[in-house]
Amino acid sequence: MEVSTQVLLLVSAALALCRAAAARPDSATANLDAATMAAQELDRVASLPGAPSYSYAFKHYSGYVTTDEQLGKALFYWFFEAMEKPDEKPLVLWLNGENFMGERWFGQAQELGPFLVKKDVPELELNPCQLAVPGLSSGCWIFIHEHVLRNRSTGRQFHGWFQRFPQHKMKEFYIAGESYAGHYIPQLANLIVDENKKASRENYINFKGILIGNAYMDGDTDLQGIVDSSWHHAIISDTLYATYLRSCNFSAEVLSRECEVAMGQFNVLHDLIDIYSLYAPNCERGYPDFNTSFSPQIGPTTSRFDLLRIPMGYDPCTQTYATEYLNREDVQRALHANTTGVSYPYSLCRDSINVLWHDSDKTVLPIVKKLAQEGLRIWIFSGDTDGRIPTTSTRYTLKKLGLPIKEDWSPWFTHKQVGGWSVVYDGLTFVTVRGAGHMVPTSRPEQALQLFEHFLANRNLPSKPF
């Protein structure tokens, strides 16, 4: 099946991709002025260390877009065009999650992107499961660094990317992501919807919908769902579960001491397994540790959002491979990275962000409900073996919205097998992905692609085997 999409992947201000070879003229760039074409060409990727030589059948660009010159703020992006007719395909912005991650490369290096880091050497290979994804076959993606988006002024400055690539301005535009993106995708979407109501044609964004996987949207229901799911998956004992039920009020500003002790016991149990994919192995090589902790936690030790730790992929060592590759000096030069000469190594997570950042709403459900009423296309999906933002949490959260059900719980199919279940509410569609962990595109790429195609086409997933 062919995907019709372009994805806008803006990753963080730590990586900047490669300098340009001569761009071939096409219909999308024919009417651009010389300065715009030159700016795009400077960001075009000519080569990437360790990448296969045949990997440049599609064009991709990366670099910085200034958002506040006085404060020295910029967005870092990585943009992949489709192989075929990219000027005819919609545009998708992919945002990875986590509320205090620093530099993130999950979407490109471990999930959706055309490149994966090889297992035993810090080089790249074409993603064998993603040869039909938008970045390679028929669409374009943008990856953006999510931490910058938490600054509420940055959404208004997102027009900077479209100023760099004005040929894509009027394409159908979608935002997709996972995990803590359940918070800032609705926030960014709400901002775009509101700004579009008063925008000139020049600044109007042809915004159509959002797609969020294993979405953290509501503090109370997500925390309660984690506990309930852990008991249902036989991870915690009846005794510990009873302690939670008795002592934990997740709506309270301050949790009881008994609840905090129970959370400590919970953390010990989850340190033994990969909470992001309950039935996947841990990485025997170990995980990189640059000024951070990767052990999952739940509870208010620093903030009650500490539970949102780094998600591991289907291969539990992908994080390690990616970190090793991105710390190569030649890779950083090719990516235009570390242009300010920071002294510390690249890391997928950095706890210093968590210490400095205190701007997080407890819930985004009022925003989600507003977006549904505005007629925005909203799909929420959930890998059902995730223990961090489990399907249980998402079902509790969506029930809290109180939306009427239009099409009740029913299976959908990938070929002859059940791919998961879905329910269509008035204004929102919820889809589970059977056997997938926190990062659905990593653990179930075929089902993820099928889900993504149907979302873009705005049609229900197959209700019968095919």
The H or E element that residue 10 is part of is strand 6-11
Residue 462: pLDDT over 70: yes
Helix (H, G, I), strand (E, B) or coil at 124: strand
Give the residue carrying structure tokens 């925390």. Answer: 223
Given pLDDT bands bounded at 50, 70 and 90, which one contains residue 362?
confident
Residue 35: pLDDT over 80: yes
Confidence at residue 14, expressed as pLDDT on a 0 to 100 scale: 26
- The pLDDT of 292-314, averaged and rounded, is 42
Given pLDDT bands bounded at 50, 70 and 90, which one contains residue 103?
very low
Given pLDDT bands bounded at 50, 70 and 90, which one contains residue 323?
confident
Neighbours of 279 (CB within 10 A): 12
For residue 179, is it left (φ>0), alpha (ψ between -120 and 50) or beta? left
Given pLDDT bands bounded at 50, 70 and 90, which one contains residue 61?
confident
Cα of 368 vs its chain's centroid, Å: 17
Distances from the Cα of 428 to the Cα of 304, 378, 422, angstroms: 27, 5, 11
Confidence at residue 299, expressed as pLDDT on a 0 to 100 scale: 42
Q: What is the pTM of this model?
A: 0.85
Q: What angle do CA 137, 82, 432 make, to 5 degrees?
A: 60
Both tokens of 218, joined, read 């509501």
Query: In this predicted structure, which of 34-43, 285-294, 416-425 has the lowest mean pLDDT?
Result: 285-294
Confidence at residue 287, expressed as pLDDT on a 0 to 100 scale: 57
State which amino acid sits at residue 82: A
Q: Which of 137, 438, 443, 454 is catalytic?
A: 438
Residue 141: pLDDT over 80: no
Does 386 qualify as catalytic in the annotation? yes
Neighbours of 337 (CB within 10 A): 23
Could you report the per-residue pLDDT of 253-284, keeping only the tens digit for each?
889 999 999 989 988 888 888 888 999 887 77
Q: Which of 386, 422, 443, 454 is catalytic?
A: 386
Are the CB atoms for 66 and 339 separated by under 8 Å? no
DSSP H stretches of helix in 328-381: 329-334, 351-356, 365-373
Are the CB atoms for 37 and 23 separated by under 8 Å? yes
Report d(CA 118, CA 402) in Å as an integer.
46
Given pLDDT bands bounded at 50, 70 and 90, which one contains residue 355?
very low
Instruction: List, as one string, the DSSP characters of 66-115.
Output: EEETTTTEEEEEEEE--SS-GGGS-EEEEE---SS--S--HIIIIISSSE
Query: In this predicted structure, which of 299-313, 332-346, 354-368 has the lowest mean pLDDT?
Result: 299-313
Delimit the domains of the chain by residue range: 1-218+274-466
Pairing of strands 173-178, 207-213: parallel
- The pLDDT of 455-464, averaged and rounded, is 95
Q: Which of 179, 230, 347, 393 is catalytic?
A: 179
Neighbours of 416 (CB within 10 A): 7
More confident residue, 36 or 310: 36
Cβ burial of 1 (10 Å; 0-12, 13-18, 19+) is exposed
Are the CB atoms for 132 and 41 separated by under 8 Å? no
Question: For all residues of the chain together, what is the average pLDDT?
Answer: 78
Does 179 qualify as catalytic in the annotation? yes
Given pLDDT bands bounded at 50, 70 and 90, which one contains residue 351?
low
Both tokens of 49, joined, read 């260390």
Confidence at residue 194, expressed as pLDDT on a 0 to 100 scale: 93
More confident residue, 51 or 342: 51
Neighbours of 32 (CB within 10 A): 16
Could you report the per-residue pLDDT of 367-395, keeping only the tens digit for each?
999 999 999 999 999 999 999 999 999 99
Distances from the Cα of 251 to the Cα of 362, 365, 397, angstroms: 10, 15, 13
Residue 309: pLDDT over 50: no
Does 438 qualify as catalytic in the annotation? yes
Report d(CA 444, CA 441) in Å as an integer.
5
Strand partners, 413: 418
Given pLDDT bands bounded at 50, 70 and 90, which one contains residue 289?
low
Query: In this predicted structure, which of 40-49, 142-151, 172-181 has the lowest mean pLDDT?
Result: 142-151
Could you report the per-residue pLDDT of 191-247, keeping only the tens digit for each?
999 999 998 988 899 999 999 999 999 999 999 999 999 999 999 999 999 999 999
Confidence at residue 314, expressed as pLDDT on a 0 to 100 scale: 55
DSSP code of residue 139 = -
Neighbours of 232 (CB within 10 A): 12
Residue 435: pLDDT over 70: yes
More confident residue, 143 or 148: 143
Strand partners, 424: 407, 429
Instruction: List, as one string, the DSSP characters of 453-465.
Output: HHHHHT-PPPSS-
Residue 304: pLDDT over 50: no
Share of the chain above pLDDT 70, in %: 73
Cα of 175 vs its chain's centroid, Å: 9
Cβ burial of 115 (10 Å; 0-12, 13-18, 19+) is buried
Strand partners, 433: 383
Both tokens of 287, joined, read 């995980």
CATH homologous superfamily of domain 1-218+274-466? Alpha/Beta hydrolase fold, catalytic domain (3.40.50.1820)
